[in-house]
Structure 1
Amino acid sequence: MSTVVERVWATLEHLTDPEIPVVTLRELGILRDVTETPDGVEVIITPTYTGCPAMGQIEDDVKASLLQAGIPARVVTRLAPAWTTDWMSDEAKEKLRVYGIAPPHTTRPDVSVVKFMRHRPAPDEVACPRCGSTHTVVSSQFGSTACKALYKCLDCQEPFDYFKPY
């Protein structure tokens, strides 16, 4: 890995998601790659889903961080392969839980295999991030953002977001 690529990774290492500020873009798997091309440095980002409203802010944050560090770079949004929650690090999933968002279940063991489904079934059990109970029900397929569903714990009575697996 070249020195400039290492510098870019180091610069972006602590850049957080604008909608979930406790996890970094790298932990979420949104920050996909940094390469050195004949035209300069290229940073690849992938949205959690097509049309994610946070992508404009994420791109601006990446550019601003690199500009502040004096690193000229081009930010490219790449849609394929499609982002999957399987790209999230275990650290990100634990940070989500502590923050009050139930982390996603694993979607598939081989992320190179794309399964097209009209409707992805909800997991059998979603544990409440506050009390740990699996006595929960889905209230709405859309929570605070489109990538999360709203659940309610029937034991502690608290509502919470569940990061939907993709």
Structure 2
Amino acid sequence: MSQTILIEEVFQSLEHVMDPEIPVLSVVDLGMITGVDIEGEGVRIRMIPTFAACPAVSYIQQNIRKTVEQELGIAVTVEIDKEAHWHSNRMTDAAKEKLKNFGIAPPQVIEGEMRAEIMLETPCPHCGSEQTYLRSPFGSTLCRAIHYCRSCGQVFEQFKPLE
């Protein structure tokens, strides 16, 4: 089996490793995988957490190792990539659509310098209205904020934009 095919298969397997806090998103959707290297009979996968203090990092590492080993029958090492940092622009367009369908507003794309006003410009994932306001920059997890939609009356979370 060629290295290219194996790396492709590893990424296909990683699509089955879901975020424990947002189970509609895979580690690939979130842009958490920074590298896959073939090493002898095994594979080394490098990943980054979405937040430095993410309490689920070791859980995600275990799920990556377990899933890829079970699906591909190869030894897997999962390391935290200390050379890269996660930012919300790493999320795929598909991830943002999945978030919206799950009822969480996706982060806006950050171009240039991050500004606080970007948190105020959050369309409602339920009705699409831009008549929303930030209720709290602190949501159920570190990566989310709470908003309210004046149009449909729904309270919703937003995945915070980070650079």
Q: Is 1:126 aligned to residue 126 of structure 2?
A: no
Give the whole-Å Cα distance in 2 for the aligned partners of 1:147 and 1:85: 10
The offset of 1:26, in angstroms, is 0.3
Contact (CA 8 Å) 1:86, 1:108: kept in 2 or not? no
Give the whole-Å Cα distance in 2 for the aligned partners of 1:81 and 1:65: 23
Residues 2-13 of structure 1 correspond to what in structure 2 (within 5 A)? 2=3, 3-13=5-15
The 3-state SS of whatever aligns with 1:122 is helix
- Gaps (5+ residues) in structure 2? none
The 3-state SS of whatever aligns with 2:101 is helix
Q: Is 1:27 aligned to residue 29 of structure 2?
A: yes
Q: Which one is further off, 63-72 or 41-50? A: 63-72
Contact (CA 8 Å) 2:41, 2:74: kept in 1 or not? no
Q: Which aligned runs of 4 or more in structure 1 are off by greater than 3 angstroms?
A: 37-40
Contact (CA 8 Å) 1:26, 1:32: kept in 2 or not? no
Q: 1:47 to 1:163 in 2, by over 3 A?
A: same
State the identity %.
39
Residue 107 of structure 2: aligned partner: 104
Report Cα offsets for 1:10-67 as digits up to 9, x if no partner: 2222221111111111011012221123684210111111011121111111011122
Amino acid at match of 2:87: T
Contact (CA 8 Å) 1:50, 1:79: kept in 2 or not? no
- Gaps (5+ residues) in structure 1? 110-114
Contact (CA 8 Å) 2:16, 2:67: kept in 1 or not? no
Report Cα offsets for 1:73-102 as digits up to 9, x if no partner: 110111332101111110100110111000
Residue 53 of structure 1: aligned partner: 55
Amino acid at match of 2:116: P
Amino acid at match of 1:133: S
Per the normalisation by structure 1, the TM-score is: 0.87
Contact (CA 8 Å) 1:8, 1:71: kept in 2 or not? no
Give the whole-Å Cα distance in 2 for the aligned partners of 1:144 and 1:79: 26
Report Cα offsets for 1:136-163 as digits up to 9, x if no partner: 1111111121111011111211110111
Residue 65 of structure 2: aligned partner: 63
Residue 152 of structure 1: aligned partner: 148
Q: Which one is further off, 155-164 or 36-45? A: 36-45
